[in-house]
Amino acid sequence: MKLDRSDIEKLINIQLEEISGSKKLKYQFKYQLIELNIPVDVIEQLLTDADYIIQVDNAILYGVCEALFAVTGNEDIEPDQLFGKREIRDAQGILKSIVPKRMELPISFSNTTKIKYDSYITKIAIAELVKMSESQLIVYDYETQRGAKYEMNQAGGIVKTPIVNKASVKRIASKMAENQYFEDMITLNVYSTEVDPVMYHEESNTLTINNGAVISILDGFHRLQGAVLALQMNPNLDLDMILSIRSYDHETAQKYFGQINTINVLKKERREELAQERMSDKVVANLQRKSEIGKQIASSSNVNDLAGELTTFDIMSYSIDRIYKFERQLDVIKTSNYLNDFFTYLVGSYPDEFSNNANKRENRIMSHPLMFIGYIVLSKFMKDHDIGLEEIEQYVNSIITDVDKLELLFNAKKSLTGNKRIRNQIIDYFESKLEENNIE
């Protein structure tokens, strides 16, 4: 070692103390350790007993340093600064050889009732549910949940995290830990495009989640987080939860989540996005998955510059619904394909203005969320007039000449949060601008 072991142990304890007040950093630290095959019981000891680090072997000592450096970005704990190359190679080899003490698929649930072919119900001990979560078997699917928030970590990177009501998690955890929580329902979605996700045995009423399936939390994320915290507060907690297991495809899972009424109510924009009641919603959902700006279409009512977002699902869907006509699903497919091509040309023509790095965008009008109403109007104009997409630049340039007028429209009160009058004025403005400057 490049430093005395005792000095490395002190550095580790300093970092553990610094992350102890952040549930997010502790979760990321635990995740990194699990990825390194460090046993769950060792992880819990590290987080609860400052003296425990003295007992671990050199391989785990190295793994703890690697995990802490990944989470904090603190160069004082960087493994290359603390261990020799051979020590690192040996430690990595030892960690890879550890058989992780975590749950793996397939998993079976007895006493399961089949509601229909894709819906089942049973019960699960809270300790087993938490073990599934800590074994990384349960994922948070951002596309079927509340969405995400973006924050900058200590290393300067952008971290995508679930939207969580921390006060709600604490209330749930306290009641669970004190055995004052009434059994509630957790809903998991099990899906796969490669294997049969589940198998139900009628004779024994046993449901098996097959190896290769993906398990996501469909409802009850706050309860699951509360359960994790409750077990830390009370390791002897004995509580069963009602477990609903669904086997839905992506679109069905979104609609189901959009239907649910929970304590932590969904924002209107996200609820409408998940419900996908308008055909235009389906078009935007397709654009999110396939188009050049897909990941930059925000689910919330506002865009997040840290995440590089450009516009919102609601703005896009409203303008597409107004501008395009839909009668059948074929119209959805055709419009999705055309707009996918349109945004490929648009972003390719102005790469900096639609960059994921908001600091590279110089034209405040071109990347404004409401400007995407103008782009949708332009796309329909070009389609109707059979104008090739390679001519997109001259048409874009022709509709952004009156900056003062656009800023007045874009900055009107509540213009971003569903003011239909303003949105319709923006549509009228761009339609008239295109007719006026038609350069065919």
Looking at residue 382, its pLDDT comes to 96
* 177: containing domain: 107-259
303-328 pLDDT tens trace: 888 888 999 999 999 999 999 999 89
Is residue 27 within 8 A of residue 159, CB to CB? The reply is: no
Domain boundary among the residues 259, 277, 299 is at 259
Residues 201, 111 within the same domain = yes
Distance CA 96, CA 101 (A): 13
34-89 pLDDT tens trace: 778 887 667 877 887 888 898 889 999 999 999 999 999 889 999 999 999 999 99
195-246 pLDDT tens trace: 999 999 999 999 999 999 999 998 889 999 999 888 888 877 889 999 999 9
Looking at residue 368, its pLDDT comes to 95
Looking at residue 293, its pLDDT comes to 94
Residues 145, 232 within the same domain = yes
Average pLDDT over residues 393-417: 85
Looking at residue 84, its pLDDT comes to 92
Looking at residue 264, its pLDDT comes to 46
Distance CA 114, CA 121 (A): 7
Residues 420, 281 within the same domain = yes
Residues 130, 223 within the same domain = yes
Residues 325, 290 within the same domain = yes
Show the CA angle centred on residue 46, arms to residues 40 and 52, nearest 5°: 120
pLDDT over 70 at 23, yes or no: yes
Domain boundary among the residues 231, 259, 287 is at 259
CA atoms within 13 A on the CB side of 116: 4
| Single-letter amino acid, residue 287 | L
Looking at residue 41, its pLDDT comes to 67
Distance CA 379, CA 342 (A): 7
Is residue 38 within 8 A of residue 65, CB to CB? The reply is: no
In percent, the amount of the chain with pLDDT more than 90 equals: 51
pLDDT over 70 at 24, yes or no: yes
Lowest-pLDDT range of 19-28, 116-125, 146-155, 321-330? 146-155
| Single-letter amino acid, residue 16 | L
Residues 328, 425 within the same domain = yes
Is residue 274 within 8 A of residue 218, CB to CB? The reply is: no
CA atoms within 13 A on the CB side of 172: 23
pLDDT over 90 at 103, yes or no: no
Tokens representing residue 279 in the block: 């055909």
| Torsion angles phi and psi, residue 439, rounded to 5 | -110, 30
Distance CA 342, CA 336 (A): 10
- Quickly state the pLDDT bin for 440 (edges 50, 70, 90): very low
- Chain-centre distance for alpha carbon 133: 16
Which of the two residues, 333 and 260, has the higher pLDDT score?
A: 333
Tally of domains in the chain: 3
Whether 102 is in a domain gets the answer no
Burial class (CB in 10 A: 0-12, 13-18, 19+), 419: middle
Q: Which residues contact 370 (CB under 8 A, 6 or more apart)?
A: 311, 315, 409, 410, 415, 416, 423, 426
Residues 351, 235 within the same domain = no
pLDDT over 60 at 261, yes or no: no
Residues 254, 287 within the same domain = no
Whether 323 is in a domain gets the answer yes
Residues 44, 150 within the same domain = no
Residues 336, 280 within the same domain = yes
Residues 148, 194 within the same domain = yes
Tokens representing residue 291 in the block: 């188009």
pLDDT over 80 at 268, yes or no: no
Q: Work out the mean pLDDT of the chain and round it to a whole number.
A: 86
Domain boundary among the residues 229, 259, 289 is at 259
User: H/E/C letters for each residue in the chain?
Assistant: CCCCHHHHHHHHHHHHHHHCCCHHHHHHHHHHHHHCCCCHHHHHHHHHCHHHHHCCCHHHHHHHHHHHHHHHCCHHHCHHHHCCHHHHHHHHHHHHHCCCCCCCCCEEECCCEEEECCEEEEEEEHHHHHHHHHCCCEECCHHHCCCEEEEECCCCCEEEEECCCHHHHHHHHHHHHCCCCCCCEEEEEEECCCCCCEEEECCCCEEEECCCCEEEEEECHHHHHHHHHHHHHCCCCCCEEEEEEECCCHHHHHHHHHHCCCCCCCCHHHHHHHHCCCHHHHHHHHHHHHCCCHHHEECCCCCCCCCCCCEEHHHHHHHHHHHCCCCCHHHHHHHHHHHHHHHHHHHHHCCCCCCCCHHHCCCCCCCCCCHHHHHHHHHHHHHHCCCCHHHHHHHHHHHCCCHHHHHHHHCCCCCCCCCHHHHHHHHHHHHHHHHHCCCC
333-387 pLDDT tens trace: 999 999 999 999 999 999 999 999 999 999 989 999 999 999 999 999 999 999 9
Residues 285, 330 within the same domain = yes
pLDDT over 70 at 157, yes or no: no
- Quickly state the pLDDT bin for 101 (edges 50, 70, 90): low
C-alpha distances in angstroms, 267 versus 126, 274, 401? 29, 11, 35
Lowest-pLDDT range of 168-177, 184-193, 265-274, 323-332? 265-274
Looking at residue 79, its pLDDT comes to 93
Does this model's pTM top 0.75? My answer is no
Burial class (CB in 10 A: 0-12, 13-18, 19+), 325: exposed
Which of the two residues, 148 and 33, has the higher pLDDT score?
A: 33
Whether 144 is in a domain gets the answer yes
Q: What is the dihedral of CA 253, 259, 263, 268, to 10 degrees?
A: 100
pLDDT over 80 at 145, yes or no: no
Looking at residue 90, its pLDDT comes to 92
Distance CA 342, CA 134 (A): 43
Q: Which residues contact 101 (CB under 8 A, 6 or more apart)?
A: 39, 40, 41
In sequence order, the β-bridge partners of residue 189 are: 216, 246
